[in-house]
Structure formats: C-alpha cells, structure tokens
Amino acid sequence: MEETYLLNVEGVKKKILHGGQGELPKLQDGSKFTFHFQTLKDDFERTVIDDSREAGMPMEIIVGKMFKLEIWETLLSSMRIGEVAEFWCDAIHTGMYALVSRGMRRIAEGRDPLEGQKHRCGMGNMFDYHSTGYDDLDELQRTPQPLIFIMELFRVEDPSAYKRDTWAMSKEEKLAAVPVLHSEGNRLVLRREFAQAAAKYQEAVICLRNLQAKEKPWEDGWLKLENLVTPLVLNYCQCQLELGEYYEVLEHTTELLQKHNDNAKAYFKRAKAHAAVWNEREAREDFQRVAHLDPSMAAAVKKELKQLGERMRKKHVEDRKRYQGLFQSSQG
C-alpha cells in the first residue's frame, strides 16, 4: 500500500501493512490502547531496537495521561482494531524514545521503571539522563534520529471498562484506593494468601509514593503520606517473611529504618530476616534494639533470642559433623 502522510502531522509517514476492522475508535480522556510494537532504526538493516512480543507483554497507553512519547497517541488514534501499520517518524518526534524504552525494558526485567529517580530532587534526576544503562539507548539519546514503529492495535477500552492502573489514577483516586487495598491485603492475610496480600500492600505503597514524589521531602504533605506508607511496608515485609523472601525483607526494612530509625517493628522484622539467613550478630543487635525501643515487646524478643540460640547451636553441631565427614573422606 502506498505511503500516506498522517493528516496535519509533520514529520510522520504511515503505511498500512494489514487493514483493521470497523470505524476508527471513539476516544476520550482515559481510553486505553492495547497494542504490540516494534521499534526499528531507519538504517539499511532496519535494526530492531525493541520488540514487545519478545518482551512477552503488549503495551498499554492511556489517552490524555501525558505519555512521554506523545506521538504514539497520535499514531494509534489513526488505527482501526486489528490494523497493523508502519510509521516513519522524524527526529522531532523521537527524542524521548530512549527514556520510554528504558522504563519498558526495566518493567520487562521485573525492575522498578523509576529506579534511581526515587527520593531525588528535580536537579538530581537530571543526572539520570546521562546514561540509560543500555548502550543502544545511550546512542539514541546522544544522536536523536528518525525511527520506524510497526504497531498492531488489539483493543481500545473506555475508562469504565477496565481497572485503572495506579499510575493512571488522579490524586483523589489514589488516596481513595489506598484504604481499600490495605483492607483487601488484611483480608488475604487472614486467609494466609500471603503473595496476593503482598501485591495489594505493594500497590497501595506505589499509589502513595507517586503522590509523595510531588511533595517536598520531610514537609507536612510528604510526612502525612509517609505515615501511611510505613505500616503498609511493614505488612508487606511480614508477608515476605511468611513467603521466605528474607533478603527482600532486609532490603525494605533497612530502607525504612534509614528514614525512621526508631521503628521497633521494622527492627523486629529485620531481625527475623537476619536470623533466617544465619546473620546471628546482626539479628541479636536488632532484637536488642527492639527491646530497648519498645519494652512491651521484650517477651517476644526473649522468645526469638532463645530460638535463635537453639538454631545456631544446632547448625554448629551439623557443620562440625559435616566438616569431620569431609576431613575423614579426604584422609581415606
């Protein structure tokens, strides 16, 4: 099919590779596109930069939510359901692609797309733009260039037809979602469904962290949100203890204690995680801090220290037997 310029969009060419069905979807603020995409360089080899099928998940964009790569909303708006189209976009439209791709790749890798940008002022975040952590994307940042996007549009949903992802919610929606998620998490804990409960607590924390990012650290608005975050993080850590994810507990409790070094419950959960991975000295130190900070937990601490001592003695006996066995076999 012949190339056609998209109506009133300079620096964009569209080629339909496979026709779609029906009319162009009617869009409104909050409508959601679901699609697969390939991003190619405009070079002789048509070098592939990203492919959502290889990443194993389709892409989603919410209309009107200021997606960093604004041109994608325009491209998708020109497509019918089931259509596959190739778009050539000049460098004026592709300057933000490296940052968008970095976020998508981190999500596909199971990492936080905002990693390295948390708890930092705007000036600090500027330094994140020097390197994306991916060599091919760093090259795109240094030398903005035309890119080719091949898109296949699956679905367009009205705002009322899908569960809004937390990042797509307004401030009021996020604040309203937090107690609901907290309550759902508590209900799942009672049913001992710890993985599902952890996911609810985590979603509530993400809502609050998104709101916190718009506040000045340690000022009233930020502190009010932090007071809501802390119990959710502790609940999340309790679930991870139950699931045996001890190193994740160590990471989250340590981060929490860097800001709130008088939180006895955080020390208690970190102590239990240290004990589980045989960090005896660190576990004892944290348990002792708990008893000092909250005397009402002294009995629980005493019980944990007794169990820790018994476990360590048992481990030393088993280690000694194992080493003796190794020594005897090497002598034989």
Query: What is the sign of the dihedral through the CA atoms of 273, 276, 279 and 283?
Result: positive
Q: Are residues 256 and 126 in the same domain?
A: no
Q: Are 95 and 182 part of one and the same domain?
A: no
Do residues 16 and 150 share a domain?
A: yes
Q: Which domain holds residue 192?
A: 171-313
60 CB contacts (<8 Å, ≥6 apart)?
32, 33, 34, 165
Residue 130: predicted pLDDT: 58
Is 85 domain-assigned?
yes
pTM: 0.52
Could you tell me the two tokens for 34?
């679901």
User: Are residue 132 and residue 68 in the same domain, yes or no?
Assistant: yes
Residue 244 has what pLDDT?
Answer: 94
HEC-encoded secondary structure of the chain: CCCEECCCCCCEEEEEEECCECCCCCCCCCCEEEEEEEEEECCCCCCEEEEHHHHCCCEEEECCCCCCCHHHHHHHHCCCECCEEEEEECHHHHCCHHHHHHHHHHHHCCCCCCCCCCCCCHHHHHHHHCCCCCHHHHHHHHCCCCEEEEEEEEEEECHHHCCCCHHHCCHHHHHHHHHHHHHHHHHHHHCCCHHHHHHHHHHHHHHHHHHHCCCCCCCHHHHHHHHHHHHHHHHHHHHHHHHCCHHHHHHHHHHHHHHCCCCHHHHHHHHHHHHHCCCHHHHHHHHHHHHHHCHHHHHHHHHHHHHHHHHHHHHHHHHHHHHHHHHHHHHC
Residues 9 and 140 in one domain: yes
Res 3: pLDDT: 57
CATH number of the domain bearing residue 66 = 3.10.50.40
List the one residue out of 232, 298, 299 whose CA is nearest residue 266: 232
Token pair of 137, please?
């994307």
Nearby residues of 164 by Cβ (< 8 Å), 6 or more positions away: 30, 173
Q: Are residues 296 and 254 part of one domain?
A: yes
Question: Mean pLDDT, 10 residues at a time, over the chain (332 residues)?
Answer: 64 92 85 92 94 84 75 92 95 89 77 46 40 85 92 87 65 85 93 92 88 87 93 96 93 93 95 92 94 93 91 83 63 52
* Shared-domain flag, residues 80 and 215: no
Domain assignment present for residue 330? The answer is: no
| Number of domains into which the chain is organized | 2
Residues 97 and 197 in one domain: no
Q: What's the pLDDT score for residue 127?
A: 38
pLDDT at site 1: 44
Asked if 12 and 148 sit in the same domain, the reply is yes
Question: What pLDDT, on a 0 to 100 scale, did the predictor assign at position 26?
Answer: 85
Nearest to 209 by CA among 230, 239, 195: 230
CATH number at residue 238: 1.25.40.10
CA distance 60 to 119: 27
